[in-house]
Amino acid sequence: MTYALLAGLGTGLSLIVVIGAQNALVLRQGVLRQQVPAIVAICAGSDALLIALGVGGVGAAFTAWPAALTAVRWVGAAFLVGYGVLAARRVLRPSALEPAGAAQAGAAVIVTCLALTWLNPHVYLDTVLLLGTASTGFGGDRWWFAAGAITGSVLWFSALGFGARWLSGTFTRPSAWRVLDGAVAVVVTATGVSLVV
């Protein structure tokens, strides 16, 4: 039980501790201190649901119906490239940290977070397929493995979202936003392009 829990925690963290589109949004909102609880809840809750589906055997359905992953891949690629273009535009017109107005409207951030989560095929590959497949090696303890992976997700998104506030002093300068948005633009656009190449 303990081994399965720790293995799930380590495996889950190894898959999500990568700065991609979703993590970049969590970091950005954390620095701005806006919608952080909602963003963290959406990311961690979505991971928990997808991990549970993967451990429960839904990954087999994805392999049996590849058209679903293909559709998500194309829609996700278009969304990610579009999001990358918006980040690149912010590089050209950076602003200093303005907690009252620097972020998108609350509803727009929530929709963006949902899209970055559910339209990204890598999320399904990591949670449903990879973690679901890895859990089969633990037999009856596979749900402990899932609990470890879910715990890793909650810890990561909480640390990233709520810990980013410590960077807010750095982001009082427009040049810091230029660097962050430039990195987001490159990572997100590269991810979107890689989905269709």
Torsion of CA 110, 59, 194, 31, to 10 degrees: 30
State the pTM of this model: 0.74
88's tokens: 């690149």
Total structural domains within the chain: 1
Measured distance CA(68)–CA(74) in Å, rounded: 10
Percentage of the chain lying above the pLDDT 90 cut: 22
Whether residue 111 has pLDDT greater than 50: yes
The DSSP secondary structure of 103-156, one letter per residue, reads SPPHHHHHHHHHHHHHT-HHHIIIIIIIIHHHHGGGGGGHHHHHHHHHHHHHHH
Predicted pLDDT at 60: 65
Per-residue pLDDT band for 103 (boundaries 50, 70, 90) equals: very low
101's tokens: 């107005």
Q: pLDDT, tens digit, for every residue of 160-180? A: 999 988 877 777 777 877 887
43's tokens: 């990311």
168's tokens: 């807010």
Which residue segment(s) compose the domain that 8 sits in? 2-196
Largest CA distance in the chain: 54
